[in-house]
Amino acid sequence: MSGIPCMLLLQFLNLASVATFGLVIVWKGLGLFLNTKSPIVVVRSGSMEPAFYRGDLLFLTNPASEHYHTGDIAMYRIPGADIPIVHRVIEARDLLLTKGLDWLGRRHIVGKVRGFLPYIGYETIAMRLKTRKPCAARLGHGRVGG
């Protein structure tokens, strides 16, 4: 490759790397500002229906001074679990009791759900399903997603 195509490719790669770096900075800045490692998450199960559905995008905050009350929706991590869980708080004392019957301390909390966009994150779920299928299915030679 030489000449103009090579120059265009280099410009595209340069632009892509700057854009990626910018997104990482925005993501990290948002996490620092909202005091959570995961300021935006995708709902991956139907456990919160009808409040949230699979594919909904959730926006979280986790200020150190945050007080949780009955009815709040919290995202938390249980030690040893890969995926964080979103459940409604049904009792708030020194510890929080969630709808999933987990008693949580502050160290388990990832954040409080502040808002959501419906179905915006559904493609990430579909991509995860596709990557677990055999190669032939990903290439369109078999059923995908079922």
DSSP assignment of 4-38? HHHHHHHHHHHHHHHHHHHHHHHHHHHHHHHT-S-
Q: CATH topology for 37-138?
A: Umud Fragment, subunit A (2.10.109)
Q: What is the pLDDT of residue 101?
A: 80
Q: What is the pLDDT of residue 73?
A: 93
Q: What is the pLDDT of residue 87?
A: 92
Q: What is the pLDDT of residue 22?
A: 94
Q: What is the pLDDT of residue 60?
A: 93
**pLDDT band (50, 70, 90) for residue 100:** confident
Q: What is the pLDDT of residue 142?
A: 42
Name which of 60, 83, 56 is nearest 73 in CA terms.
60
Rounded to an integer, what distance in angstroms lies between the CA atom of residue 113 and that of residue 27? 17
Residue 14 has pLDDT above 80, yes or no: yes
| Contacts for 79-86: CB closer than 8 Å, 24+ residues apart | 83/44, 84/38, 84/41, 84/110, 85/47, 86/41, 86/43, 86/47, 86/48, 86/52, 86/58, 86/113
Residue 130 has pLDDT above 50, yes or no: yes
Mean pLDDT of 72-79: 90
